[in-house]
Amino acid sequence: MSLDGLSLNKKATGVVAVVLVCLASLSVFLMFSSSPGTAKPAAEKQVGDANVAEPNTQGSSHEEQKQSKPEKAPLPRPTPAGKRQVVRPTHKHPAFGQRKKQRNQMVTNQIERRDVSNHDVLSAMRTVPRHAFVLKQDLRRAYRDHPLPIGLGQTISQPYIVAYMTEALKLEPNSIVLEIGTGSGYQAAVCAEIAKEVFTIEILEKLAESAKKRLSELGYRNVHVKNGDGYFGWPEYGPFDAIIITAAAGVIPPPLVDQLKPGGRMILPLGSPFGAQTLVLVTKDAEGRVHTRRLLSVRFVPMTGKVAEEKGRRGK
Active site residues: 157
SS3 for 19?
helix
CA distance 309 to 297: 24
In angstroms, the CA 246 to CA 181 distance is: 5
Task: Report how far residue 275's alpha carbon sits from residue 255's, in angstroms, rounded to the nearest whole number.
Answer: 25
Sheet holding 176-180, edge to edge: 223-227, 197-202, 176-180, 240-245, 260-271, 277-284, 290-298
Spatial separation of the C-alpha atoms in residues 248 and 268, rounded to whole Å: 7
On the CB side of 307, CA atoms within 13 Å amount to: 28
Question: For residues 204 and 150, what is the distance between their CA atoms, to the nearest angstrom?
Answer: 12
- The CB density around residue 269, as the number of other CB atoms within 10 Å, is 26
By the 10 Å C-beta count (0-12 exposed, 13-18 middle, 19+ buried), 255 is classed as middle
* CA distance linking residue 256 with residue 243, whole number of Å: 8
The sign one gets for the Cα dihedral 220, 224, 226, 229 is negative
Strands (E), 162-222: 176-180, 197-202
